[in-house]
Amino acid sequence: SVIDRAVRTHGYGPIIPQYYSHQKRPWQQWEGTIIERLWRTALYHMLVPTVLLSVARWADPSLPWWRLPKEHTFGQPFFAVSDGYNYLLTLTTFVTTFFVGHSHDFWRRSYKLTRSLQGRLNDIGLLCASHARRSDDGG
């Protein structure tokens, strides 16, 4: 069962869904956008730290709202998560930059080859036109 699912060539949903343009204004468009797919995740990642900092503030009202000292009880887990996010940020930035760079190089090579092919087809068209038999009236 696992092997059959791993080697199948049908039945997969698209990784990136197709964007269908409608005659709506862009700010009214919702279906198929990145916002539709990720708003719950983004909201979760905003609410969890807010709730945790609210609990820390409730447990110790002397804490400033915008900053948690490292020596505080809640500080160590928060800073461990922060370090983890910083490592993920570095890795994500590297991977994105790497693949965008390679994609751009691939596009440039493809564009150059396409233009070269277009030029050769144009040359063939000019050769055919210059060696075509003409009638007496020039047609």
Alpha-carbon distance of 80 to 125, in angstroms, equals 67
CA angle centred on 60, ends 55 and 65, rounded to 5°: 70
Strands (DSSP E) found in 1-139: none
Residues 73-94 have pLDDT tens digits of 777 777 888 889 899 999 999 9
Taking phi over 0 as left and psi of -120 to 50 as alpha, with beta for the rest, 97 belongs to alpha
pTM, entire model: 0.44
Alpha-carbon distance of 83 to 77, in angstroms, equals 10
What average pLDDT does this structure show over 47-54? Answer: 85
Residues 86-128 have pLDDT tens digits of 999 999 999 999 999 999 999 999 999 999 999 999 999 999 9
13 DSSP assignment: P
